[in-house]
Amino acid sequence: MLNPAFIPTALLLQLMLLALLQEGLSWWSSLVLIGILLFKYISFKAQQKVRMMTINALAVMLCLLLLSQLWQQDMQDSMLQLLFFSAALRLFSIHSELQHAKKLLWVQYFLITTGFMLNQSLWFASAVFLLFFCNLYLHYLLFAPVQQRQFRWTDIRLLLWVMPLCIALFVLFPRLPPLWQTERQHQAQTGLADELSLGGLERLVQNDSLAFRVEFADEKPAQHELYWRAKVFETFNGQDWLPDLQRASQPPLATPGRYRYQLVVEPHFQRSLFSLGQVSQLQGQVQTVAAGLIESRQQISRRFSYSLTSNGSAVAQQNPEEAKRNLVLRHTNPQASALAHQLKQQHRTASGYAQALYQYFEQQQFSYSLRPPVLNQQAQVDQFLFQHKVGFCGHYASAAAYLFRAAGIPARVVAGYQGGVWQAQGDYLQVLQKDAHAWVEYLEDGYWRRFDATVIVAPLRLTQGLSDALSLSERQFLDQFFQRGVLGHWLQQLEWLDYYWSVWVLSFDQTEQRFIWHYFKTMPWLWIGGSIMTSLLLVLVIYLWLQRSNQSQNVLLRQRILKVLRPYGEKADYQSMESYLRQLIQLYPLQATKLNELLSAYQQFEFAEQLEQLQQCRKLLHQLAKHNSTVG
Amino acid sequence: MAGIQALQQLEQKLNQVILGKPQAVRLALCCLLSEGHLLIEDLPGLGKTTLAHALALSLGVHYKRVQFTNDMLPADLLGQSVFLRDTQEFQFRSGPIFSQILLADEINRASPRTQSALLEAMEEKQVSVDGLSYALPKPFFVIATQNPLFHAGTNALPESQLDRFLMRLALGFPDLQTEKLILQQDQGQSRLEGLNPCLNEQQLLLLQQQVVQIKVSDALLDYLLALVTQSRQQQDCLPLSPRAAKALLRASKAFALMSGRHYATAEDVQQVFPSVAEHRLNPGSSRDNQSLSLQLLRKVPCPL
């Protein structure tokens, strides 16, 4: 018989689960699930049994629906929906069957943990744990004896008891690589795009979500040095800048770095990662690729952490091919080319030319705007440089790179993020999507030097981050709200907690584990203390066990006597063992000797505490039991 | 275990005198071994006095018999100070209580005043007369007999005084065969005449010491306490006091010694329990009635 509280609790749990997994469910499946749960609730209230036929028909229908949607949505999401449908339908079918309820619970455990495929933040994890405990409670409802089915808060203590074990397992249990991985197909792109058009980055710049977070080990670079390189575009087709397809893997230079930092990247479903200037050392599942960039070995589909060391200088040229590749100009913008030639004649060196360009941008009254006028197809660089003179980083980078190339200086567009907000509590840097930026690198003396025209046009963009799109009053209101208010304070605290959740829990992998073991090994006192503690505990356990067994030996012997002698006759509750055995001796004269011996051995063991008599008792009992079985 | 054989010999001899009552004989001996006072209650002519006499005789200690009557005064029992004209001073003339065994026959015939004088001496093992204390000899015990309460001219012993007796025994009627034997053997002389002491004073004291050393396991104590606790939870009887618990333990130990063991068993406790407990549970009951204590025994599970 099922506990009456089981079905309502399970309904509530599935409803919460529905909210939790919303991200992985399509709108129609959410609707269907709500409908199923609601219907189940009504039929439960009315105490009606749902017919299996209805459920089977519904299941077939839902499967077909899912199959038809399979091509339009992510495989993983489809599977998630399938699992959820099966859980909901299983709940739908349960009336009082214990067996079905058990199956339901196991499916729900699985379903709850699939939530981690969607999100890994601290808050999400807390919700997952909460649901997990709810399911545990459901399990408890199923198996607890009827009198004890009331939920007691003291049971929470049990959870606290197992916590140290959980933590120990988390830290010490070998980390296994994932058994399989899924690539999400139709995931919305949240990071930088694969090409950069003149109007690109606009989408990102208006996005307030988190891109990644950085913690510096010792020295922190100045704000205007924080150019996070993510992508390098080397091919220009007149409108868009495209990455070079040739992506040779390059070993990092083993030079001592100036900045040591750890990054925690939000999932952006690409492989490209972020770094500052020339990378000298790297740690984690990352590799270097062409143009001094860093890439993950897998698509970043969950929070990902890695550590880097950079020396903060310009990126070195890797091969002569690079210079050639970055001179190519297939489409002409006549006015821009003319300007480049003119400036080039005045300034021979590349750095002189760059200075001239800075001056040019400063003098020509370019302005910065997130809503620049739309450009025509033809000669876009010319239009921007000479006609509108309004744009944002993408425009400036694109135009500057064109001007460099037109003057015969190898140049390329780099996309990434600039700056970030320092979080006071955690001493870490938070980089948001709206910090997305594009700039230019030109080649001089074997190094790629940075050229960022935006600095000239909108210097505040660099030092204070982007808030161009906001009016002054709005900005003041937000500042007040987020930085000085109590709420703002708490929000920052929560951000900080979430950050360390990522750093210490999510990014805890084999490397970290090995590190911890290594750390333990270097501290002999820890080992000595640990082994002393363990042996003390062991001694205590053995002592208690001996005590217990000493005490319970008597009880065990009494139980054994009763069990063996039961076929001879029952012992009354109030009867002493002696009178019981004497009674048996009267009744079974053939066994009298053995019973007499047993009696005397038992009395000596029980009352005179002669422990050696236990063996004798056991022997006699064994013989009596054997006799008993042969006789019948 | 010196003295055990002598003890068993004694028991045997007593059984030759008191025919057909081995259990009562054993319990009576047990009571004496545990330094407790014994009350024998039954109808006249069932052998109470014979048992008391036999015990006193066979123990080989100094004993006196006092027949209690309703006009008896405490001084008749305890003794009194007499003025000696020659020496011009008082001298204490000790009463019959100054003996090692006092046979108090028909104790419930005496006035409450005399009863309480005796009972005080029983508890404190000393007598106070005219402001002076006189210690009673050692060992000292009282074997009292009484007629059932409904008999004419009896004063019931109050509960607190009944409690001073470790055991209350009843002899009951002998079965037919035994009675026949009694009749056959009646040759005009008392059975007590041929009874010689089997123990001396030293042996008795030694045996009493051995009783104290009898081993009692923890589980057995638990059982004993369970019995006592049960009496306190029951509505239909008086609760057993810690003194009663002590008496029960002591008697059980003595019973174990009588069986020649150096450890007490649950059976020992069960055997002595009715005699030790009944008059405390139900002071008004009399004679062979042990219903309350037996009921109580049946209510307490005994795993041992």
> How many angstroms separate the CA of residue B196 from the nearest CA in chain A?
35
Of the CA atoms within 13 Å of residue A388, those in its CB half-sphere come to: 20
Single-letter residue type at B103: L
- Closest by alpha carbon to B198, among B302, B66, B303, B59? B59
pLDDT at B204 > cutoff 80: yes
pLDDT the model gives residue A351: 86
Nearest to B263 among A555, A558, A607 (CB): A607
Average pLDDT estimate for A378-398: 82
- Residue range A333-361, pLDDT digits in tens: 888 888 888 888 888 888 888 888 888 88
Q: Is B215 in contact with A608 (Cβ distance < 8 A)?
A: yes
pLDDT the model gives residue B270: 93
Residue A185 binned pLDDT confidence (cut-offs 50, 70, 90): very low
Whole-number Å distance between alpha carbons of B34 and B28: 10
Q: Is A576 in contact with B304 (Cβ distance < 8 A)?
A: yes
> How many angstroms separate the CA of residue B293 from the nearest CA in chain A?
13
> φ and ψ at A489, to 5 degrees?
-60, -50
Residue A455 binned pLDDT confidence (cut-offs 50, 70, 90): confident
Of the CA atoms within 13 Å of residue B34, those in its CB half-sphere come to: 27
- Residue range A222-277, pLDDT digits in tens: 888 888 988 888 888 777 888 776 656 566 555 677 888 888 888 877 788 888 88
Percentage of the residues of chain A whose pLDDT score is greater than 70: 84
* A12-21, A291-300, A331-340, A415-424: which is most confident: A12-21
Whole-number Å distance between alpha carbons of A71 and A503: 37
Number of Cβ within 10 Å of residue A526's Cβ equals 12
Q: Is B264 in contact with A573 (Cβ distance < 8 A)?
A: no
Q: Is A577 in contact with B217 (Cβ distance < 8 A)?
A: no
pLDDT the model gives residue A111: 92
Whole-number Å distance between alpha carbons of A138 and A18: 17
> How many angstroms separate the CA of residue B23 from the nearest CA in chain A?
16
Whole-number Å distance between alpha carbons of A264 and A420: 14
pLDDT at A149 > cutoff 70: no
Nearest to B301 among A555, A573, A609 (CB): A573
Residue A552, burial from CB neighbour count under 10 angstroms (0-12, 13-18, 19+): exposed
- Residue range B15-31, pLDDT digits in tens: 888 888 899 999 999 99
pLDDT at A598 > cutoff 90: yes
Q: Is B267 in contact with A607 (Cβ distance < 8 A)?
A: no
pLDDT at A211 > cutoff 80: yes
Say whether residue B215 is in contact with chain A using an 8 A CB cutoff.
Answer: yes
Question: Quick check: A442 and A451 in contact, CB under 8 A?
Answer: yes
A593-629 as b/e, with b when 16 or more CB fall inside 10 Å?
ebbeebbbbbbbbbbbeeeebbebbeebbeebeeebe
Residue B192 makes CB contacts below 8 A (sequence gap 6+) with: B17, B50, B53, B54, B57
Distances (CA, A) of A48 to A44, A213, A309, B5, B270: 6, 54, 67, 84, 62
ipTM for the predicted complex: 0.86
Whole-number Å distance between alpha carbons of B121 and B117: 7
The distance in angstroms from the start CA to the end CA of chain A is 40
Least confident of A97-101, A569-573, B78-82: A97-101
Of the CA atoms within 13 Å of residue B248, those in its CB half-sphere come to: 29
Nearest to B301 among A574, A579, A607 (CB): A574
pLDDT at B276 > cutoff 70: yes
Q: Which of residues 257-286 of B touch A (CB under 8 A)?
A: 261-267, 269-270
Residue A131, H or E segment: helix A122-143
Single-letter residue type at A186: H
**Which of B268, B298, B304 to mutate: most A Cβ within 10 Å?**
B304
CB pairs under 8 A between A and B: 53
* A90-104, A235-249, A593-607: which is most confident: A593-607
Which residues from A are below 8 Å from B300, CB to CB? 574
Average pLDDT estimate for B262-281: 92
Nearest to B267 among A555, A578, A604 (CB): A578
Residue B71 makes CB contacts below 8 A (sequence gap 6+) with: B111
Whole-number Å distance between alpha carbons of A334 and A341: 11
Locate the chain A residue with the closest alpha carbon to B216: A607
Say whether residue B180 is in contact with chain A using an 8 A CB cutoff.
Answer: no
Q: How far is CA A71 from the centre of its chain?
A: 27
Q: Is B267 in contact with A579 (Cβ distance < 8 A)?
A: yes
Whole-number Å distance between alpha carbons of B175 and B197: 28
- Residue range A545-562, pLDDT digits in tens: 877 666 678 888 888 898
**Which of A556, A570, A574 to mutate: most B Cβ within 10 Å?**
A574
pLDDT the model gives residue A70: 78
Whole-number Å distance between alpha carbons of B172 and B47: 9
Whose structure tokens read 């000298």?
Answer: A280
pLDDT the model gives residue A152: 65
> How many angstroms separate the CA of residue B223 from the nearest CA in chain A?
10
Residue A178 binned pLDDT confidence (cut-offs 50, 70, 90): low
Q: Is B217 in contact with A579 (Cβ distance < 8 A)?
A: no
Look at residue A115 and give its three-state secondary structure.
helix
Number of Cβ within 10 Å of residue B4's Cβ equals 15
The distance in angstroms from the start CA to the end CA of chain B is 25
Q: Is A607 in contact with B301 (Cβ distance < 8 A)?
A: no
Q: Which of residues 559-618 of A touch B (CB under 8 A)?
A: 573-579, 603-604, 606-609
pLDDT at A448 > cutoff 70: yes
pLDDT the model gives residue A48: 80
- Closest by alpha carbon to A306, among A273, A263, A268, A272? A263
